[in-house]
Amino acid sequence: MREFNLSGRHMWALPALALGLTLALSTPAAAQDGPVFAPDIAVILQENCQVCHQPGAIAPMSFLSYEEVRPWAPIIKEKVVSQEMPPYHYDTNVGIQELKSDARLSADEISTIVAWVDAGAPQGDPADMPPPVVWPDAAEWRMAERFGQPDIVIPSDPYDIPAVGGDAWWQPMVETGITEERCIMAIETKPSVPGRASTHHANSQFMVQNEDGEWETFARLSEYALGKLGEIIPEGSCRKAPVDSRVTWDIHYYPMGEPVEGDQVEVGIWYYPEDYAARYEQDLRSYPGEGDIDLAPYGTAMTQGFHSFDHPVRIDSWQPHGHFRLVGASLEIFHPNTGERELISMVSNWTAYWHLSHVYEDHVAPLVPAGSVMVLTHWYDNTDENRSNPDPTVYVGRGSRTTDEMSHDWIAITHLDQEGYEQLLAEREALEELRNTAGDDG
């Protein structure tokens, strides 16, 4: 499990049920043939869960020791089998499966946890526990371990978040301090630690002055929502950082019971080297669904959006967005010349508690020829069968409030020319042939 941000309304908070089930469990004293906590389960938790499940982190309970984990064993089994945890919601049986920073457990890891719980959650030998992980400060940049500290940090103006109240939007414009045009390698948006739970989303975009001295949009910088780590721009692409620019923030706060004075959201930018040469530009945009969202009490709905380009493109990442009634989303490509409709990605158990950007591995990122159409589908459930639904008795329409609904997808796209498109296709065909040859040779 990577580090994610969590709403205080998370459904994992089931201590009474967990403690009740604990009484029915017993740890056999005899040696176990199957998996035991030390080391089998402890290693899985260290690699996938403890980043959130530790004191002071965003999860409601700690998983650092056997004594802390054992009361939750039945719930852990339930959540990993349903693939609700770790919170990386992406269908495993359709579409592209090779993703960067994929936080899903493997089938072997899930079966190990199931076998452990079914055997009574045995501890094993405490001497076999793996060394504890030293976790970084939650206030630090998460990409710093890979890239070092950001080359530039752009904070929002301060905002006072009340303890209680309704949705609030904070939209300041700030100086960037950028003095030379560079290609961006990575971006991370970081809410403050005290204000993290209240920061529903934080969008930022570059602004530059036109000839009349007016500030106008240059490009989207970043989009942050609960659960998102950040963005890495693939090699060969460039998302530009403009000189003498400003950033406009669009921060959506929702009070979560604790006041935060002078809250600031920051965006960190890492540059490619100065001599980096990129052939194509990449951008991040919101691609909307069409029509109104009109959800009657206990009703369901579907929206679709259709978007095409007059040049070839590569889709680098996909992130559906909605609120509490959105339950599923998909990305397809329709090819008019052949009539083929290609399913790229799908999330059938979407939840507003985790907003994740699914980043495709470079060799499988969808290559879309000019004229083909992205089909973006969203499904909504306003019934009481939707566990995230706060109130199935009300009408719900399209809007920006948390109680409203939305229908759009954040998609990062590299814009190609025909020569580059054909070159990437040829490289992939050569790679596939090499893999097939290696497979035939055993």
The domains of the chain, with CATH numbers, are 15-127 (no CATH), 142-277 (2.60.120.230), 279-442 (2.60.120.230)
Report percent pLDDT > 70 for the chain. Answer: 91
Q: What is the pLDDT of residue 276?
A: 95
Q: Residue 192 pLDDT more than 80?
A: yes
Compute the radius of gyration of the chain from its Cα atoms.
Answer: 23
Q: What is the pLDDT of residue 440?
A: 62
Q: Residue 394 pLDDT more than 70?
A: yes
> Which comes out higher in pLDDT, residue 9 or 407?
407
Average pLDDT over residues 79-87: 90
Q: What is the pLDDT of residue 442?
A: 55
Q: What are the tens digits of pLDDT across the range 57-70?
A: 677 899 999 999 99
Average pLDDT over residues 297-318: 96
Q: Is the pTM of this model over 0.85?
A: no
